[in-house]
Chain A
Amino acid sequence: MQNMKLRIKFAKSGAMRFIGHLDVMRYFQKAIRRAGIDVAYSEGFSPHQIMSFAAPLGVGLESRGEYFDLEVHSYTSSEEMKERLNQVMVPGMEILSVTLLDEHTKNAMASVAAAAYSVRFRDGYEPKFDWVSQSALFYAKPSIPVTKKTKKSEVQLDLKPSIYSMEVREGEDGRPVLYLLVDASSSGNIKPALVMETFLKENGEDFSDLSLLITREDTFTNAGTEKQPRLVPLEEVGKSF
């Protein structure tokens, strides 16, 4: 029997921000058993559920756009499966949609092209300079050189081509929020904190990870071509059933 591929979108907030990527994967393996989903397993002595997670999310970040794909033997409807999974979630984990992929769709991990983030400053950690207007100047520069530290070495790279947009909008509480759309593909993933660090340091501010509240707003795939990319949220590749 042919397995079918589902794409599941979820949100992560509150205390769940402190659960790392590997533990989120373990959490879902158990949740899928609790929900009684007819999941497909790999062959071999220790079979595991066939699943693929999109882009790992750093500890401390919230998200409204996390994804994983799951192979199943059978399914009911998008709504029923979403509901069934939500019943076995803990507070801070919410299933947002379940869609069906056609069999040729690249898996979630390989599909990721970009991610959108909103960035807020924690109370008491706001920069001293006018960061709203400076952010526009920062993004208008033709290149943004940085030194990216990897495990083995330091690499010089230009952030600019990897930042697809950077703009400030007014948040729900009336305070400014910075929105970033950046490359999140496996070859060119850019962390929003790196962009912020570069931006703040250029303006003479110290940078600390702790000063930012970052939410991943969604994760995107390229539905166009390499030359004419068209970024769409991962869930839009699948269809409701």
Chain B
Amino acid sequence: MGKLALKDEILLRIEKPARYIGNEVNAVIKDKNEVDVRMAMCFPDVYEIGMSHLGIQILYDMFNRFEDVWCERVYSPWVDLDRIMREENIPLFGLESQEPVKDLDFLAITIQYEMCYTNILQILDLSQIPLCAKDRTWEHPIVIGGGPCTYNPEPIAEFFDLFYIGEGETRYRELLDLYKEARREGVTRTEFLRRAAKLPGIYVPAFYQVEYKENGTIQSMKPVEEGIPETIRKEIEMEVSDTYYPRKPIVPFIKVTQDRVVLEIQRGCIRGCRFCQAGQLYRPVRERDVDMLKEYALDMLKNTGHEEISLSSLSSSDYSKLPELIDFLIEECRRKNINISLPSLRIDAFSLDVMSKVQDVRKSSLTFAPEAGSQRLRDVINKGLTESVILEGAAMAFKGGWTRVKLYFMLGLPTETEEDIKGIGDLCNKIAAVFFETVPKEQRVNGKVQIVASTSFFIPKPFTPFQWAAMCTKEEFLDKAYATRTSIKEQLNQKSIKYNWHEADVSVLEGVFARGDRKIANVILKAYEKGCLFDAWSEYFQNGVWMEAFEECGIDIGFYTTREREPEEIFPWDFLDCGITKEFLLREWKKAKSETVSPNCRIQCQGCGANRFGGGVCFEEKNASIGKELESGKELECRI
């Protein structure tokens, strides 16, 4: 075992020193002299969060399977260590080698949520790497960004040398080979980046110039050189059953958020909820082969010793072999005394049966995500969940012994009215009434039903039909939260209903970053310099400091948040092609305004454009022909 980067004196005076020592089961140690490329995969948040992320586990496994590469991990030092590292000028280090990140070839940062942007700067800063890409030389690692936030990378573009757009399984080998070749030939760093920019899926911000109109919107975004592509299409792994997936994931010593084996059953979602970015970005739906999943489940349990397994995907109920997979896992896990942590499933006879087998009914709760209080608004957002489905599901569950129900809603959705908000209270009340109707007094286990309604604030995201929509102000959001509370308090069964909502400040900021442009980078830099860090942690979020930063940079928040966009507007992310067309999104935006729903991918193809990837749900039997029609330019009317 090598030397630790931090002295005992430091490790003994910080919280959870296990965050920084590496040495976990299945962590990969290689001889640094035997590899050509060294990289660090980074999740810019604290260890317990970062270690719970599946994407890094997949890529860590992939990179380390390459014989010429050693991939390590790095996470945000918590505030206590952050202070010490700055005071003592200790460079940030990779957990495996305990050596400085600045000496590696690549630093690849996954960007999962907007509120980690200052933590990206922290990682660079503590690594002693210049914050802005233009100030880096071959002395510094190539800094790569990946993950969902790179579908609008512009607010953080100047901090990165390149972005990898899409799923990591496909192009990294080529990128690493380009790098090795460039280093062998001794070309400049810029020349390497120029070559990288020509690889599919790779965006090098330095090679693009943005022109703005007088009103602040984008005039054009063009490559500054011949040969640099105008648009960059996302990368996607179509062979999801025959690709990289870890059989030996790393097992942390300390309890992390996702402390279990995670089995990713499919990518993408057929549902097409109009507020949901993931539902659009990861199209088309690609299911993993159920036999592959069974094999990996057993392997991963054996190799980690975890006592719990969970399934991961969007809308897991739509996985076609779910009953087979769950039956298999229940049987295996019972023999091995392993818990199954179920994903949120559509409430029906099947899921209730499964839940009663793997959970203690008295302690678990049901979850519904109606997202909006009224049927009208659910039609606007294309959330195909009706009141009768919810009430019937609840009745079935109450008969089965459940007494706790969680409901998730969003406030501030496009076209929302007071009536829609009142609908939240009404729906909660009706569920409570169903309990009292279904369960006779003498059978009420805890004597009562517990309904917890939570609301989040709607934030329009790029590549969704709502990318044109106006977002609410902080005041509007809070008014809506109070209105929701009032509507719940007025209900007959209000004593059975609990209501949770969040502060609105963070949502406003997230809204700016989500649809921001390159002008936002200065604000992020300024806020970081003023001490903003761990903005995703409410106890560290400093709204006042952020507001000062906006003020000093002369940036108007409303321009990014509360402004409804014209159909013609060029968005900062329009140079990216996530596989679905802007025409489709615009069509969906119009349908939203006319309260018209779109059926899911399996019922009827909506011609989003994702069939260009040549696989997945688009080519399941009944969809294949429709896909082709749409490709040839015909537009289908929605027929339901």
Contact = CB atoms under 8 A, between A and B. Distances in A.
B304 A18 contact: no
A92 interface: yes
A15 B23 CA distance: 7
Interface string B1-43: 1001000110111000110011111000000000000000000
B581 to A, nearest CB: 47
B254 A23 contact: yes
> In the complex, which of the residues A18, A30, A33, A209 has the most CB atoms of chain B within 10 Å of its own CB atom?
A18
A225 to B, nearest CB: 40
A19 B304 CA distance: 18
Given A16-B23, A41-B337, A92-B23, A27 B8 contact: no
Interface in A80-132: 88, 90-92, 122
A91 B304 contact: no
B304 A60 contact: no
A30 B254 contact: no
A18 B24 contact: no
B196 to A, nearest CB: 36
A210 B303 CA distance: 37
Nearest to B9: A210
B337 A47 contact: yes
A188 to B, nearest CB: 26
A30 B339 CA distance: 13
B307 interface: yes
Q: Which of A15, A27, A33, A46 has the largest count of B CB atoms less than 10 A from its CB?
A: A15
B12 A33 contact: no
B8 A210 contact: yes
A95 to B, nearest CB: 15
B1 A32 contact: no
Contact of B253 (A14, A27, A47, A91): A27
B23 A91 contact: yes
Contacts of B306: 30, 33
B357 to A, nearest CB: 11
Interface in A13-61: 14-16, 18-20, 23, 26-27, 29-34, 36, 41, 45-47, 59-60
B304 A30 contact: yes
A92 B339 CA distance: 29
Contacts of A47: 337
A30 B85 CA distance: 33
Contact of B1 (A14, A23, A41, A88): A14
Given A18-B21, A23-B18, A32-B305, A92 B1 contact: yes
B23 A90 contact: yes
Given A15-B4, A23-B254, A59-B17, A30 B305 contact: yes
B305 A33 contact: yes
B530 interface: no
A91 B1 contact: yes
Interface string A208-223: 0110000000000000
B86 interface: no
Nearest to A40: B337
A19 B302 contact: no
Residue among B12, B25, B305, B360 having the largest count of chain A Cβ atoms under 10 Å: B305
B251 interface: yes
B255 interface: yes
B337 A18 contact: no
Contacts of A26: 253, 255
B181 to A, nearest CB: 36
B72 to A, nearest CB: 15
B337 to A, nearest CB: 5
Contacts of B337: 41, 47
B305 A31 contact: yes
A31 to B, nearest CB: 6
Nearest to B10: A210
Contacts, number: 70
A58 to B, nearest CB: 10
Contact of B24 (A46, A59, A60, A90): A90
Nearest to A30: B305
Contact of B302 (A15, A29, A34, A46): A34
Contacts of B336: 33
Contacts of B4: 15
B1 A46 contact: no
A45 B254 CA distance: 24
Nearest to B13: A210
A60 B305 CA distance: 26
Given A18-B17, A27-B253, A30-B25, A45 B360 contact: yes
A19 B9 contact: no
A123 to B, nearest CB: 11
Interface string A172-210: 000000000000000000000000000000000000011
A46 B12 CA distance: 34
A90 B25 contact: yes
B84 to A, nearest CB: 14
A29 B307 contact: yes
Contacts of B12: 59-60, 209-210
Given A30-B304, A45-B360, A46-B339, A18 B11 contact: yes
Interface in B501-556: none
Contacts of A23: 18, 253-255
Interface in A55-71: 59-60
A29 B305 contact: yes
A14 to B, nearest CB: 5
Contacts of B21: 15, 18
B101 to A, nearest CB: 19
Contacts of A32: 305
A192 B306 CA distance: 35
A35 to B, nearest CB: 8
A52 B302 CA distance: 23
A20 B336 CA distance: 27
Contacts of A33: 301-302, 305-307, 336
Nearest to A125: B9
Contacts of A36: 302
Given A30-B304, A32-B305, A19 B18 contact: yes
A32 B306 CA distance: 10
A18 B18 contact: yes
A26 B8 CA distance: 23
A34 B304 contact: yes
A50 B21 CA distance: 29
B164 to A, nearest CB: 31
Nearest to B252: A23
B561 to A, nearest CB: 43
Contacts of A92: 1, 23
Nearest to A20: B18
Nearest to B98: A15
A30 B307 contact: yes
Nearest to A208: B9
B500 to A, nearest CB: 27
A188 B244 CA distance: 54
A49 to B, nearest CB: 8
A218 to B, nearest CB: 23
29 contacts: A14-B1, A14-B23, A15-B4, A15-B23, A16-B23, A18-B17, A18-B21, A19-B254, A20-B18, A23-B18, A26-B255, A29-B307, A30-B305, A30-B307, A31-B25, A31-B305, A32-B305, A33-B302, A41-B337, A45-B360, A47-B337, A59-B12, A59-B17, A60-B11, A90-B24, A90-B25, A92-B23, A210-B8, A210-B9
Interface of A: 14-16, 18-20, 23, 26-27, 29-34, 36, 41, 45-47, 59-60, 88, 90-92, 122, 209-210
Closest 9 CB pairs of A and B: A30-B305, A33-B305, A18-B17, A34-B305, A91-B1, A15-B21, A15-B23, A14-B1, A45-B360
Given A15-B1, A15-B22, 14 more contacts: A14-B1, A14-B23, A15-B21, A15-B23, A18-B21, A20-B18, A23-B255, A30-B305, A33-B305, A60-B8, A60-B11, A90-B25, A91-B1, A210-B9
